[in-house]
Structure 1
Amino acid sequence: MKLSSILNFCILVFFTLLFVNDFFPATTLAEVLSKKIILVILIVLVIIQITTAKGTYKRLSKKAYVGVTLYTVGLWIVLSLLGGESQFGLSFNSPIFYIIVVLLAFDLLRVYRQSKNEETEKKAQ
Structure 2
Amino acid sequence: MRLSTIFNFCILVFFTLLFVNDFFPDTTLAAVLSKKIILLILIILVIVQITMDKGQYKKLSKKAYVSVTLYTVGLWIVLTLLGGKSQFGLSFDSPIFYIIVLLLGLDLLRIYRQSKLEQKQ
TM-score (norm 2): 0.99
Q: What aligned pairs does 1:101-112 form with structure 2 within 5 A after superposition?
A: 101-112=101-112
User: 1:22-78: CA deviations, max 9, x gaps?
Assistant: 000000000000000000000000000000001222111100000000000000000
Q: Report the Cα distance in structure 1 between the residues aligned to 2:56 and 2:83, rounded to whole angstroms.
A: 42
Q: Report the Cα distance in structure 1 between the residues aligned to 2:54 and 2:21, rounded to whole angstroms.
A: 33
Q: What aligned pairs does 1:106-125 form with structure 2 within 5 A after superposition?
A: 106-121=106-121
Q: Which amino acid aligns with 2:109?
A: L
SS in 1 for 2:58: coil
Q: What aligned pairs does 1:92-107 form with structure 2 within 5 A after superposition?
A: 92-107=92-107
Instruction: Say whether 1:70 aligns with 2:74.
Output: no
Q: Report the Cα distance in structure 2 between the residues aligned to 1:99 and 1:56, rounded to whole angstroms.
A: 33
TM-score (norm 1): 0.96
Instruction: Say whether 1:13 aligns with 2:13.
Output: yes
Structure 1: tracts of 5 or more residues without a match: none
Give the 4+ runs in structure 1 shifted more than 3 A.
none
Aligned to 1:80: 80
Q: Which amino acid aligns with 1:24?
A: F
Instruction: Say whether 1:57 aligns with 2:57.
Output: yes
Tell me the number of residue pairs that the alignment of Structure 1 and Structure 2 aligns: 121
Aligned to 2:31: 31
SS in 1 for 2:119: helix
Structure 2: tracts of 5 or more residues without a match: none
